[in-house]
């Protein structure tokens, strides 16, 4: 019986959205196989998880990005993975926002955060880039920081003199990778809440909540 309910859930989620997107959900990362699984591609991994929950493939090329049209609980959205490389993410985001006339407050950006321990989330309704180059470029080109963002902790540099670029472009160890992946269900729920106009509630529910490799094992069992 549970399998039947799951089938109906997926059929409902794959229905064509009615009307243009009301929200754009962006996952940040770098295109190309060499960057897959790196800390800096956590946003890509998170939005791929969301696409899987919605039974869609992010594969259409538009706005210098791979995109997919779908609905989140009945609200039409655009899932977007910029293909511009991280430092130029704003080019793709601005092009999509301009085309659909999406204001910053209906843009949701998912990114990695090296200032947070692996497995910890930080959701904000607005704010600075915090040193994340993709967020910096989006803020710069939109001329606004008034958009919700979900930052996923990927672990801090092991020492102060460690090159930041080398750190974010490296792959986490097994424990940290599992802790990061275990946040994805919470990221999905946070996106649902934000699209429903409940960003403050999402902040209260998930900010500071630490995920570990043990949580990842439990989610797979």
Sign of the torsion formed by the C-alpha atoms of 92, 146, 150 and 192: negative
Q: How far is CA 76 from CA 44, 86, 110, 158, in A?
A: 20, 26, 18, 41
Consecutive H or E run containing 68: strand 65-72
**166, 58, 129: which is closest to 24 by C-alpha?**
58
Asked whether 91 and 136 are in contact (CB, 8 A), the reply is: no
Token couple for 188? 């999905």
Place of tokens 């989330």: 121
Token couple for 101? 């006339």
CA dist 46 and 1 (Å) reads: 29
H helix runs in 15-173, sequence order? 42-53, 89-100, 133-142, 164-168
CA dist 110 and 152 (Å) reads: 8
Catalytic residues: 40
- The arrangement of strands across the sheet holding 60-62 comes to 60-62, 65-72, 75-82, 23-27, 107-113, 149-153, 121-124
């Amino acid at each position: 019986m549970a399998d039947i309910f799951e089938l109906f859930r997926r059929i409902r989620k794959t229905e064509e959205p009615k009307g243009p997107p009301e929200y754009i959900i962006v996952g940040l990362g770098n295109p190309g196989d060499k960057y897959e699984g790196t800390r800096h591609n956590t946003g890509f991994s998170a939005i791929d998880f969301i696409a899987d929950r919605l039974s869609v493939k992010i594969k259409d090329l538009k706005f210098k990005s791979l995109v997919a049209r779908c609905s989140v609980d009945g609200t039409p959205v655009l899932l977007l993975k910029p293909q511009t490389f991280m430092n130029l993410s704003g080019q793709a985001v601005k092009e999509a926002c301009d085309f659909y006339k999406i204001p910053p407050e209906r843009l949701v950006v998912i990114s990695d955060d090296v200032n947070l321990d692996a497995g910890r989330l930080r959701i904000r309704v607005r704010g600075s880039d915090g040193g994340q180059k993709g967020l910096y470029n989006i803020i710069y080109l939109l001329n606004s920081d008034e958009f919700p963002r979900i930052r996923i902790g990927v672990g801090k540099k092991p020492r102060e003199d460690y090159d930041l670029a080398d750190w974010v472009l490296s792959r986490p160890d097994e424990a940290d990778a599992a802790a990061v992946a275990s946040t994805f269900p919470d990221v999905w729920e946070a996106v649902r809440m934000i699209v429903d106009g409940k960003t403050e509630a999402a902040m209260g529910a998930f900010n500071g909540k630490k995920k570990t490799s043990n949580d990842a094992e439990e989610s797979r069992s």
